[in-house]
Structure 1
């Protein structure tokens, strides 16, 4: 079987989270028709983690921002993956903890309904599966989150809702296993065929199966802020961006209204609230980016002649106008305002403080700068709307459709 090994330096509870998340691929391979094809083991005590015979998940400690990443060594003659090399960073868990801690004040006397460790380890299981997926040859699939979490190769944002009492519900924050696209990709990349003819027809069958089940794939190139597909955005969750903005904006409002010193532990510097409030205030940020892609939006597929996929579909004008209105509502003064009680809670950092943990900066020096924070969010949203590629698509569409959203309509809506 394909075997990955855990760096002995990985501490508990990360070790078990990495093992469990890595072994999601055993389920994928089995669903793709391969039994006993994948496993994650502890690195033998006498093994060298740089030995080419061992594919290792390495533990990388950071006190500042940095990525996890995965690569592989391949036989140039055949393309066979000889060894995978994965670096799992520690900083990621600080980000996850900050998100969790930001929900504490709004969660009531008993705290969040998921504890911090459970929340963080759920993310790290998915994170492990994601990085291993890269080393197996898979790219990002940024449409998967809107297809029922169809892949671990997405960038997931925690799916937080409000319960019946209006408190944050973290129980479904992260996916709990692999998805349909993961299985399709492994079938496509790993199924063995006896000859070239059988390979071509076999791969065609696999692709037709994916198309019939509407298992879609859109990669990095089209997930940027200037993209045209609303459903393709990093760090966004939900069936549609409309739903995503409604949910995240609702959660954000509850978190802002309840935010106070309970977001840090007794004895911790009050300045840490800066970092915690950043996640609260920008909770809907990526959903807004996704929503902006309705404006001048166009869905598309990587269609081949004869595969019956529709190459392009312009987003309906009604959806474009609805999205524009929601975007402008999101940057109204009411939505941009930081409560005075929050501004007065956050002092400058104490001596020796890691400034990588100061995430909200501004022009007030020692005073928390709520004006720059709100202005930054407004500038970001307006930048999404007026992106030059997006504006060009609005013009192109309006040139052939008199009922389409026009660029004049967009600019008038902004300045009104």
Structure 2
């Protein structure tokens, strides 16, 4: 923007749209639609239409910035009320068991956009006082149940606002996470290499598989904000703050239930038919940061994929700010999950998975990944003293349970955990590989 420094008026704005988002959208669309559309020309058209819909929405978004309009990351909770949100493509299952992206992105301005433009740019000449007209627009926002929450509240991993998220959908993020996990599973079950042409290296399939395997990553970031979440908005001095309250205990419990699914082996295990297609890079193909890293050299490591995905959820659940809020909220309402209770739920989930398949590498790695995430959380300097103490006590309980196992693997994990509790030493080798970058979509 070119801005008048005296007044703040935007005199001129330039918008540049790169090709990365189009490329990502096309890969996501190919991965989602190929199992359900046999006709190649129809598939190509559907993929192109989704990519163009995203650029259309993004163009309106960037032009909104040239008009001085800020991000509104609460708009998705109000039926996608603004182009100034960051939209994740809306994926819908059809009645015949297929999948549709025809409504992946909205068309035109949303209700919020029209309201903010009316507030910022209306000429009230000849009408009652401008103050009264501006107040009327704000009252309309309340009637329409429109919210405004921007970057500082929405971007941090420890964010508390239950509606302020990037790359999410739905009025209730936990319900949408449950739905999206179901969509993801159906797509993975039907995932096909037919999206590649016969003259393409099979190794290129991984770059399409990654965003499908991680389809739930951003909705997980949205759902976790119910855990230790707090309802609020931007208050004026004469506003009532009666709504400034923690998210209800029942909603927090519902969020935890769905979040635990994102660390389960059944959710994260790569289906065998897909593993058969995740081959090493072909001659002339370079490695890409868009693919998963692993511990198996040039061979794609599906166990490390599961660990990286699980660690994403664990890091969000065990964020120090979230844990501190949970400790305080639990003190006022014991139906809210406590930090120790959260750790117990995580441990029970991965330990139960391991007990059901003790020799399975995925279950073994997920158990180690969960313990590592808990240790990392306890070590975090942002953890309040009282929160750290109860979490260390819970770690000690888990150590004792692990020590009773007949498994050499679990006994060693117990020894390492005991050494951490007594000497503060913890092996760095338990840390999983980071996820491939996914934003911007």
Match of 2:93 among 148, 162, 165: 162
Choose between structure 1 and 2: higher helix proportion. Answer: 2
- What CA distance in whole angstroms lies between the structure 2 residues aligned with 1:329 and 1:263? 29
Query: Where does residue 187 of structure 1 map in the other structure?
Result: 118
8 Å CA contact 1:300, 1:310 repeated in 2: no
* Length, aligned pairs only: 344
Query: Where does residue 145 of structure 1 map in the other structure?
Result: 76
8 Å CA contact 1:106, 1:168 repeated in 2: no
| 1:75 matches 2:4 | yes
8 Å CA contact 2:87, 2:167 repeated in 1: yes
Q: Relative to structure 2, which stretch is displaced further, 142-151 or 211-220? A: 211-220
5+ residue gaps, structure 2? 349-441
8 Å CA contact 2:178, 2:258 repeated in 1: no
Shift of 1:200: 4.2
Match of 2:180 among 237, 248, 252: 248
- What CA distance in whole angstroms lies between the structure 2 residues aligned with 1:79 and 1:290? 34
8 Å CA contact 2:162, 2:247 repeated in 1: no
- 1:305-348 superposed Cα distances (whole Å, 9 cap, x missing partner): 33456451211111111111111122211111002221221223
TM-score using structure 2 length = 0.74
Query: Where does residue 398 of structure 1 map in the other structure?
Result: 330
Shift of 1:357: 6.6
Query: Where does residue 4 of structure 1 map in the other structure?
Result: none
Query: Where does residue 84 of structure 1 map in the other structure?
Result: 13
8 Å CA contact 1:292, 1:323 repeated in 2: yes
- What CA distance in whole angstroms lies between the structure 2 residues aligned with 1:318 and 1:80? 47
- 1:131-178 superposed Cα distances (whole Å, 9 cap, x missing partner): 111111011111111101100011111101111122111111111121
SS in 2 for 1:82: strand
Match of 1:411 among 343, 364, 369: 343
Shift of 1:242: 2.2
Shift of 1:117: 1.2
- What CA distance in whole angstroms lies between the structure 1 residues aligned with 2:192 and 2:24? 19
Shift of 1:190: 1.4
- What CA distance in whole angstroms lies between the structure 1 residues aligned with 2:235 and 2:241? 5
| 1:216 matches 2:147 | yes
| 1:101 matches 2:30 | yes
Match of 2:55 among 124, 134, 149: 124
| 1:370 matches 2:299 | no
Shift of 1:122: 0.8
Choose between structure 1 and 2: higher strand proportion. Answer: 1
Match of 1:315 among 247, 256, 262: 247
- What CA distance in whole angstroms lies between the structure 1 residues aligned with 2:15 and 2:152? 23
